[in-house]
Amino acid sequence: MSGEHEGPVGPVLDTSAPPDHAKKVADLKPDLLLTQEHNMCPGCGEPLALRVYLEALQELGVTQRSIMVAGIGCYTAFTSTVDVDLVQALHGRAPSVATGAKRMRPDAVVFTLQGDGDMVNEGLQEVLHTAARGEKVTCILLNNGVFGETGGHMTATSVLGQRTKNSLDGRDAEYHGYPILIGDLIARLQGAAYVARGSVHNAGAVARTKKMFRRAFESQLRGDGFTFVEVLTMCPTGWFIPTGDGPEYMHETLGEVHIMGELKVGGVVKTTEELHEENAARQREVEHALERGGLDR
Amino acid sequence: MTAVPTAQRRLMEGSEAIAEAAIAAGCRFFAGYPMTPFTELLEHLAKKLPEVGGVCINAESELEAVGMAWGALATGARAATGSTGQGLSLMQESFSEITLAELPLVVFNMARGQQDYFQATRGGGHGDYRHLVLAPLDIAEAVELTQLAFHLADKWRNPVLVYGDYLLAHTHQAVSVEPVEFAPLPPKAWAVDGSGGGTGDSQLVTPLGLAKHGHEAPGIERHLRGITAKHADMESEEQRAETAFCDDAETVVVAFGTPAKFVRYVVSQLRAEGEKVGFVRPISLWPYPFGAVADATAGATTVAVFELCAGQMIDDVRLAVLGRAPIVPIGGISTDGSGFGVGPLLDAEVIRERVLAAHRGGVDAELPPLPVNERG
Amino acid sequence: MTTIKSRGTVTIDVDTCKGCELCITACPPRVLSMTDEVNHLGYRYPQLHPGCTGCAACLMVCPDFCFEVFRFDEPVMTDLAGGAEEQS
């Protein structure tokens, strides 16, 4: 939320060591992440998604039968630091690798980790066919609307008006065409069982995204079919904005085009209008809670 | 591997024999895209693999076919893909990277002629990689070499390509697909099955020279050097060739694959008539049996090369012969009206004339003109 | 005199912080501010003021895994005038 806030008051407290007379309620990093260190840019949203899907796997008790298939992008760096059996695929080609792995290991939880350049540009055919065939894998899309690793170039999900290194005046419909709303496309394929689009622009969104991951993995475990979780992530570097502006920028640009919500549950596809209504209703609830003084001051 | 009972001879086309041989070798995953003359191999595996608990997927394109095989391989399964030359062109990026990831892919090129020799042996993919390439003479040899391909792929953790063609795919013959016993191989400790998760020792199958945090990564340079270090060993151990009548041969003919059976027949016929001709057939196209070809042609005054293309293997013959004798190409492009199959050059009489012309005329031989496919 | 109740607190691994400031805006009670100093990477990093609820929003939005979050057995009261902490 933008607008006026009271800033912090009072002295700076010691945060260098765990406190006495307290219980830890949240760990530094997920157990499945071998080190917290990485070279993602300041303000990158990808680690936020990484955290919650690793936590989801652990909570479901499937860490010892999970196979991850990674695409190529900034997130490829995590292939060394996630404590999950992993196969590296080529740019765009993780869904087919995941297909082969799942067919040979049907009891494993097989999922991909891909960016929008990887999945929606290079690999559009792969993910659509994998979904259409109902392969019992979960494809995870980290969608920041740019090719991050190469320095911030336009992808098939970049929104109109978005400036990137090869659309410096902003994406233009006439010259560059329109973005592909991949989650919406996939939701309409019969083989897709659960399709959701979350984001990591604030804590509430992160928490909702974690639920989406859980539902997707649970759906895979039930053998329902193809499952898909798209996560809108911040890329302040690729968006040419200060890190602190990332969440708002994302909410107002990508978030206005790639509408968040559970796009398909139990075979039922939600329309864009229904998603808008759900999101608006949630926003009203949050505002009421704030007005009622739900925060402890 | 469970013992497979001795098969009975049964009339089947080459594609079916190769499919059965792959299954006898333990292949339990195949993915492909229909394309002539490869399509029947996909059809047979689509039928037979589920019967043995395997999986055959009709992939949406050749790119995905090789990707699916990649995923299956990573789990430790024996897996394969295939196509004809054009489809293999699409798979090249994955071929390179699968080799760099040290996965034991078996690939079948049911080729349209012999013009994919460079693609197979030089590789159309990027980077310093090699595939072992085996070129069967006929269906019986294809049954052995298919099984050998799976063994060598696992032995070296390197892809192996089986170079077939239309004739091999579609000829019907009474064949018995006998399982071949090979030396035992170590278990695939590198394979992923999910069980490494959360242990601190999870597995990483990657072409990039990375390793999991806490383990020493070779880094990309050392990794690539490690891959190419295998090449020298493969080259010294996996050369295969067949020679005949070379000891006192004046003219030695070099040919590979199904056309080589025609050439061998012609050479043995000419020998029976007193002509001093010999024959050498590379069975491994990579590593090329330079030593065997050099030895076979050591005393020759003419080396003739027969291949169904404009001249590709001839480059390797030149490397083997190193100028000791002139090299005369006696093959050429020849195909049927569709472009997929057998052309008029693949004819014992026609080949005989060309071998004789080279034998009598040497490097100045006036070869008969190439026969023309009536349908152009 | 104002008294602020802290139900929770955090530890902050300042050496890993890359100064992105996402935690500052994510914190619902707004109890984080950025320092003027920099860590060994050259980034400013967050510091905590009284009023933390232990909601872990900061942890959830931190790309660099800098936070651990705790809830006190009993809330800690901080008097602003004196700045001293006491158990309530």
Neighboring chain B residues of A139 at a CB cutoff of 8 Å = none
Does residue A26 belong to the interface with chain C, where contact is any CB pair within 8 Å? yes
CA B235, CA B224: separation in Å to the nearest integer?
17
Mean pLDDT of B16-21: 98
Chain A CA closest to residue B212: A80
Please report whether residue C46 resides in a domain: yes
pLDDT band at B238 (very low <50, low <70, confident <90, very high): very high
Provide the CATH number for the domain around residue C73. 3.30.70.20
In this structure, is the dihedral angle defined by the CA atoms of residues A199, A202, A206 and A209, taken in order, positive or negative? Answer: negative
Neighboring chain A residues of C12 at a CB cutoff of 8 Å = 15-16
Please report whether residue C30 resides in a domain: yes
pLDDT of residue B1: 45
- Closest-CA distance of chain C to residue A208, Å: 11
Q: Which domain holds residue C40?
A: 3-77
**C-alpha dihedral (B164, B167, B173, B175), degrees to nearest 10:** 0
* CA A233 to chain CA mean position, Å: 6
SS3 call for A61: coil
pLDDT of residue B159: 98
Pairing mode, if any, of strands A226-232 and A192-199? parallel
- Closest-CA distance of chain A to residue C47, Å: 6
Neighboring chain C residues of A207 at a CB cutoff of 8 Å = 60
Spatial contact of B303 and B331, defined as CB atoms under 8 Å apart:
no
Please report whether residue C72 resides in a domain: yes
Please answer yes or no on whether A100 and B67 come within 8 Å at the CB atom: yes
pLDDT above 60: residue C85: no
* Tens digit of each residue's pLDDT (9 = 90 or more) over B192-236: 999 999 999 999 999 999 999 999 999 999 999 999 999 999 999
* Tens digit of each residue's pLDDT (9 = 90 or more) over A8-28: 889 999 999 999 999 999 999
Please answer yes or no on whether A99 and B57 come within 8 Å at the CB atom: yes
B324: burial class by Cβ within 10 Å (0-12, 13-18, 19+)? middle
pLDDT above 90: residue B375: no
Q: Can you list the domains of chain B with their CATH numbers?
A: 1-238 (3.40.50.970), 243-364 (3.40.50.920)
Number of other residues whose CB lies within 10 A of the CB of residue A253:
18
- Closest-CA distance of chain A to residue C1, Å: 12
Residues 186..225 of A with a Cβ closer than 8 Å to C: which? 200, 202-203, 206-207
Spatial contact of A38 and A77, defined as CB atoms under 8 Å apart:
yes
Number of cross-chain residue pairs from A and B with Cβ atoms under 8 Å apart? 165
Please report whether residue C36 resides in a domain: yes
Pairing mode, if any, of strands A261-265 and A268-269? antiparallel
Chain A CA closest to residue B97: A90
Q: Which of A25, A42, A43 sits opposite C70 (nearest CB)?
A: A25
Q: Can you list the domains of chain A with their CATH numbers?
A: 46-291 (3.40.50.970)
Neighboring chain A residues of B66 at a CB cutoff of 8 Å = 96
Please answer yes or no on whether B75 and A126 come within 8 Å at the CB atom: no
Counting as contact any 3 or more CB pairs under 8 A, the partners of B are A
Please answer yes or no on whether B74 and A100 come within 8 Å at the CB atom: yes
* Tens digit of each residue's pLDDT (9 = 90 or more) over B279-323: 999 999 999 999 999 999 999 999 999 999 999 999 999 999 999
Q: Which of A29, A203, A297 sits opposite C51 (nearest CB)?
A: A297
Please answer yes or no on whether C43 and A41 come within 8 Å at the CB atom: no
pLDDT of residue A286: 83
pLDDT above 50: residue B332: yes
Which of B154, B159, B155, B104 lies closest to B134, judged by CA?
B159
pLDDT of residue A295: 47
Percent of chain C clearing pLDDT 70 (strictly above): 92
pLDDT band at B6 (very low <50, low <70, confident <90, very high): low
pLDDT of residue A182: 97
Neighboring chain C residues of A46 at a CB cutoff of 8 Å = 63
SS3 call for B7: coil
Chain A CA closest to residue B217: A80
pLDDT band at C88 (very low <50, low <70, confident <90, very high): very low
Mean pLDDT of B165-189: 95
Spatial contact of A47 and A40, defined as CB atoms under 8 Å apart:
yes
* Tens digit of each residue's pLDDT (9 = 90 or more) over C25-83: 999 999 999 999 999 999 999 999 999 999 999 999 999 999 999 999 999 999 987 54
In this structure, is the dihedral angle defined by the CA atoms of residues B141, B144, B146 and B150, taken in order, positive or negative? Answer: negative
pLDDT band at B4 (very low <50, low <70, confident <90, very high): very low
Give me chain B's average pLDDT, please: 95
Please answer yes or no on whether A11 and C21 come within 8 Å at the CB atom: no
SS3 call for B248: coil
Interface test with B, best of A39, A81, A88, A111 (most B CBs within 10 A): A88
Please answer yes or no on whether A5 and C56 come within 8 Å at the CB atom: no
Number of other residues whose CB lies within 10 A of the CB of residue A267:
11
Residues in chain A where the model's pLDDT stays below 50: 1-4, 295-297
pLDDT band at B376 (very low <50, low <70, confident <90, very high): low
Non-local CB neighbours of B73 within 8 Å, separated by 6+ positions? A100, B29, B79, B98, B103, B104, B105
pLDDT above 90: residue C87: no
Neighboring chain C residues of A8 at a CB cutoff of 8 Å = 30-33, 49, 51
Does residue C9 belong to the interface with chain A, where contact is any CB pair within 8 Å? yes
Non-local CB neighbours of C3 within 8 Å, separated by 6+ positions? C77, C78, C79, C80
* Tens digit of each residue's pLDDT (9 = 90 or more) over A209-253: 999 999 999 999 999 999 999 999 999 999 999 999 999 999 999
How many separate domains does chain C show? 1
Does residue A61 belong to the interface with chain C, where contact is any CB pair within 8 Å? no
Percent of chain B clearing pLDDT 90 (strictly above): 93
Pairing mode, if any, of strands C67-79 and C3-12? antiparallel
CA A56, CA A85: separation in Å to the nearest integer?
16
Q: Which of A16, A38, A202 sits opposite C26 (nearest CB)?
A: A202
Counting as contact any 3 or more CB pairs under 8 A, the partners of C are A
pLDDT band at C1 (very low <50, low <70, confident <90, very high): confident
Please report whether residue C82 resides in a domain: no
